[in-house]
Structure 1
Amino acid sequence: MTPTRLRLLKVLGYVGAWFVLSLLVAATIFVNSERTIDVASHEASLGPDFSGEIVLRTGPVLPDLRMPSGSRLGLEIELGKTDTESLDELTARYAAIASQPEGQVAAVERSVRSMAYAALLQGAALGTVPLLLWAAVGRERRRDLVHRLPTRRGLLVTGGVLVLVAAVAVPAGWGRTEASEERWQSLRDFVGPEVPLPDEVTDVQVMADATTDQSRRLIESAISSYRQGLEFYSAAADDAAGLDLRQPEDGETVTVLVSDRHDNVGMDKVARAIADRAGATTVFDAGDDTSTGSHWEAFSLDSVAAAFDDFEGRWAVAGNHDNGSFVRAHLEKLGWTYFDDEVVEGPGGSRLLGVDDPRSSGLGNWRDEKGLSFAEVADRVTEAACAADADGERPGTILVHDAKLGAGALEKGCVDLVIGGHIHVQSGPTAVAGENGETGYTYTVGTTGGAAYAIAIGTKLRRPASIALITYRDERPVGIQSITLQTNGRYDVDDWVELTY
């Protein structure tokens, strides 16, 4: 064998050893890592393993659940604190979230991937340590150590090294060992044959011990709510495929507008189905995705983000119920565009201006200014729109939660279209003649979540749900079509209204 081949084999040997060591160390770090995120309206901790099962630890009242993960990877999710005021409210949340789980699944997957990437990086670094030590010892010293192996001291050292290697090579969480007192039974056996179960939960198991009649009743109630919600919203999404909606022509871009979802994640699949039917590729969110802006409502933000995660453009503003900075920060992290007192590129190359509702705390660059009134923020919007118009960058659209914030810009003729929500009732599109002779329009979409008040979680709509489709051509909004889903599941589709200037 030539010296070159020997050197090559030696290099390959080092690389192979580094790769194996790195994977073993990474696996050990991975299964001993933990991440805290918001899951199902709880502060929850995630612990990965290689059991092939997903176990949900729900707390002292409701029974724990588990189901196959579909892979060698497993996960234990322990639910922590939440702000619910009753168990009935909590189970209603569970049912609503379970009927539209994509957002929560995506949030958990992101966290697990993040833990895996971090473990791989640490493993890659730590995997080089033994090789560096091997090289540092040198060939002569290694030969000397080999000669000393048969001695008592050599055997003790070798044994200690083998134990250490075994501890690293067999990660603690490689396979979860269930405590002897944990006994699992199928959800079918738990609730009894009289409760019809959807096909989606046939693989779910329930921990049988210490389960009271009250917790069993809650589980049955959640299953019933889950089934009713799933059937209603799934049927609505399926029916959307047959709606008579205007289709975009060459050179046109369609944007779907949602607002005032108020945690109703069931409507997200419906909005996406309508968007697909109309050929929409971008989305506006006019705010009030939550009822309080709290961390426990991350499930609502994860859901709408998952529903439109492959769209070309996603723009949003915070509503008055999206209190604090959490809603904006969370959706920005998921790739949504918010506004900072400047015009940005919008759908179809149009120009877009937006601002968060001043009754929440998110006000773009104005957030540092305390005590700004609604009227003062409206004046800022007017100034920004008219300044852009004067510079030849006329905004095609102003996206706000309450369309009144853009009324001043319309009156001065500085914008083509102002869109919002907030009042839970559809209004417009209505033409407004500007002081400069330019015509603009104002349009308010109803509540996409079908919310009567500040929350819309439930097995069906509390009031009609509204969605709008806005068509852009030649960098301007040129038409709007409104769609309303009634509480009985019937669709009302308005004619496409052309916007002329």
Structure 2
Amino acid sequence: MTRKRVQAVAPWAGLVMLWAATTMLVGALGFSNDSERVTIGAHAATISPTFDGHATLDLGAVLPRLRIATDTPGGVGVNVDIQETDADNLTELLNRDALIASQPDGEIARIQQVIQEMAVDNLVAGAGSGLLVVVVVATLWTSLGRRRRRELWDYVHTHERRFEHRALVVLVAMLITIASIFGPGRMRTAEVPPTEWRPLSELLPQLSLDPRLKRVEVASGFSTTGGVGVIKTAVETYERSTEFYGRLRDQVPRVGGRIHQATENETVALLVSDRHDNIGMDPVAAEVAKVAGAKVLIDAGDDSSSGQSWEVFSIHSLREHFKDLKVVAVAGNHDAGGHIEDAMRKNGFTVLDSKPVEVEGIRFLGDSDPTKTGLGSADSPGDETIADQSKRLADVACEQPDDKRISTMVVHDPSSYAETAARGCAILLLSGHLHRQVGPETKVVDDRPVTTYTNGTTGGAAYAFALGYTLRRPGEMTLVTYTDGKPIGLQTVTAGLAGEITVGPYTPLPS
């Protein structure tokens, strides 16, 4: 490369290096001082990035801090400041937290997403700052002109040591500034010694911890030693949950030979409903979907118990365990309030809203439940009644031409598809809500077969709450097989109270 070409390229290269350096500096400073308030598990929490290589949970003044190594590049970690919750008492809170922690993948993915968003936001801010610096420098450079720049260069280099003296003054000023910022705190004697961390296994030697818990460390101090009983109870709840649902998941491949396998021309969907916060069943259902070769998850609602904002952990878990599947969903009466539907959409679910949609060649229609029901409270009316919704959906279904007939209608309450079934305007109509299986029942309307089916509770819920270290009633999910977008068969898979998996017979549907 000729000298002339180097002289032409050098200013641009210098500007690019200046932009990159400013971007990284401003971005790193912004990222290290950033924080975000989100809902994690059963709590509101503030998430802050760190560079200590650990995920640290600050549980407040009563309970000890916990941490686990993140094993991330650059030692990026996170501090999670756990804050308020709607739990009525400490025992309920600890049980709830332990059960959510037994299936943490959804919440871990949510925290990772928040940290990544912070990194991107601060990188963009750094890039903007870098661009501003480059523009200012380039403007000053061109404003001076070649002659004036040459004069300044000669002036600096022809006056004896004037440049060196000024550089020394600037360097000393920078050192004094840095020392004034960081020095005083280091010169003061610390009143409280640095935090000491102990392995959880050392705190609870009587328990046989799983590999994940063996990596957890606990901050030593009064809250640790004084709260051993509380910590032990939470760990026991965690381990009972992981053992029970882990045993269920491990059994699925053993009975896989009885599960109908999708052929080359078939598409399998897994139907779940009435999970009611029981994320313990999610890895079990995901294993069933994997064995069957499912491509679609159909969620018939009531993923939560009261539709509160803290219950979006249930949707995060569903997304993480079924991230390779397309999800078609409606919200149930216990999901009312908007938080659950919003979380579904943010996680990329296709939420049915009274318009026909096609997913994996299957033509769906449905809508979320209009009724609002809290945990233990009576139903309250929404924008319309179930009867009105049933008629409205039937009108939409029956408007479709024969070559675009609705293949599958999904609602929460079976009463919401009653009118469509009576008119024969959909092939398969699916629901939940009753916590027990009803059907499949097939009738012929105008020479066209119509099948209705209600799935039992996937979360094993007796009433509206299912989060627990075991099932309150059998947890059911149903495999739906399609050919050319038309349903051709159903098969139930049930998790029993004793920890066993039962596979029902494959039931062909009339074409």
* Fold equivalence (TM over 0.5): yes
Call closer, same or farther: CA 1:179–1:284 in 2, change over 3 Å.
farther
Indicate conservation of the 8 Å contact 2:37/2:47, yes or no. Answer: yes
Cα distance in 1, alignment partners of residues 449 and 233 from structure 2: 53
Cα distance in 1, alignment partners of residues 263 and 138 from structure 2: 68
Write out aligned runs for 1:391-430 (5 A): 392-430=403-441
Cα distance in 2, alignment partners of residues 490 and 482 from structure 1: 14
Cα distance in 2, alignment partners of residues 428 and 412 from structure 1: 18
Partner of 1:292: 306
Cα distance in 1, alignment partners of residues 368 and 191 from structure 2: 49
Partner of 2:500: 490
Matched letter for residue 496 of structure 2:
Q
Cα distance in 2, alignment partners of residues 370 and 256 from structure 1: 29
Alpha-carbon deviation of 1:323? 1.6
Partner of 1:366: none
1:256-294, Cα deviation, whole Å (9 max, x unpaired): 001011111110000000011111111100010000111
Matched letter for residue 253 of structure 1:
T
Q: What's the secondary structure of 1:196's corresponding residue? A: coil
Match of 1:251 among 265, 279, 287: 265
Partner of 1:345: 358
Matched letter for residue 466 of structure 1:
E
Indicate conservation of the 8 Å contact 1:22/1:127, yes or no. Answer: yes
Cα distance in 1, alignment partners of residues 252 and 444 from structure 2: 36
Partner of 2:95: 92
Q: What's the secondary structure of 1:30's corresponding residue? A: helix
Call closer, same or farther: CA 1:413–1:15 in 2, change over 3 Å.
same
Indicate conservation of the 8 Å contact 1:411/1:433, yes or no. Answer: no
Partner of 1:210: 222
Segments of 5+ residues of structure 2 without an aligned counterpart are 374-380
Partner of 2:12: 11
Match of 2:395 among 383, 392, 409: 383
Match of 2:201 among 188, 195, 201: 188
Partner of 2:122: 119
Q: What's the secondary structure of 2:198's corresponding residue? A: strand
Indicate conservation of the 8 Å contact 1:41/1:82, yes or no. Answer: yes
Call closer, same or farther: CA 1:213–1:134 in 2, change over 3 Å.
closer
Match of 1:373 among 377, 382, 385: 385
Cα distance in 2, alignment partners of residues 500 and 134 from structure 1: 75
Call closer, same or farther: CA 1:160–1:145 in 2, change over 3 Å.
farther
Alpha-carbon deviation of 1:307? 0.7
Match of 1:73 among 72, 76, 81: 76
Indicate conservation of the 8 Å contact 2:372/2:382, yes or no. Answer: no
Partner of 1:236: 248
Alpha-carbon deviation of 1:131? 3.2
Call closer, same or farther: CA 1:395–1:378 in 2, change over 3 Å.
same
Once structures 1 and 2 are overlaid, which stretch shifts more, 251-260 or 83-92? 83-92
Cα distance in 1, alignment partners of residues 300 and 449 from structure 2: 23
Call closer, same or farther: CA 1:212–1:99 in 2, change over 3 Å.
closer
Partner of 1:63: 64
1:44-64, Cα deviation, whole Å (9 max, x unpaired): 111102111111101122111
Matched letter for residue 183 of structure 1:
E
Partner of 1:438: 448
Alpha-carbon deviation of 1:309? 1.0
Does residue 306 (structure 1) correspond to residue 316 (structure 2)? The answer is: no
Cα distance in 2, alignment partners of residues 270 and 132 from structure 1: 56
Indicate conservation of the 8 Å contact 1:149/1:158, yes or no. Answer: no
Call closer, same or farther: CA 1:167–1:451 in 2, change over 3 Å.
farther
Cα distance in 2, alignment partners of residues 28 and 383 from structure 1: 58
Q: How high is the TM-score relative to the length of structure 2?
A: 0.89
Cα distance in 1, alignment partners of residues 337 and 191 from structure 2: 42
Partner of 1:365: none
Cα distance in 2, alignment partners of residues 242 and 59 from structure 1: 44
Cα distance in 2, alignment partners of residues 271 and 55 from structure 1: 30
Matched letter for residue 190 of structure 1:
L
Alpha-carbon deviation of 1:486? 0.5
Cα distance in 2, alignment partners of residues 163 and 289 from structure 1: 59
Q: What's the secondary structure of 2:281's corresponding residue? A: helix
Indicate conservation of the 8 Å contact 2:61/2:223, yes or no. Answer: no
Matched letter for residue 253 of structure 2:
A
Instruction: Please provide the CA RMSD for this pair.
Output: 2.6
Q: What's the secondary structure of 1:261's corresponding residue? A: coil
Does residue 460 (structure 1) correspond to residue 461 (structure 2)? The answer is: no
Write out aligned runs for 1:132-281 (5 A): 132-138=135-141, 140=148, 143=153, 149=163, 157=170, 159-160=172-173, 180=193, 182-191=195-204, 193-211=205-223, 215-243=227-255, 244-281=258-295
Identity of aligned pairs, percent?
35
Q: How high is the TM-score relative to the length of structure 1?
A: 0.90
1:333-359, Cα deviation, whole Å (9 max, x unpaired): 100011222111034x12110110011
Q: What's the secondary structure of 1:242's corresponding residue? A: helix
Alpha-carbon deviation of 1:300? 1.0
Cα distance in 2, alignment partners of residues 219 and 145 from structure 1: 69
Q: What's the secondary structure of 2:84's corresponding residue? A: coil
Q: What's the secondary structure of 1:479's corresponding residue? A: strand
Does residue 327 (structure 1) correspond to residue 340 (structure 2)? The answer is: yes
Cα distance in 1, alignment partners of residues 417 and 191 from structure 2: 59
| Residue-pair matches, total | 482
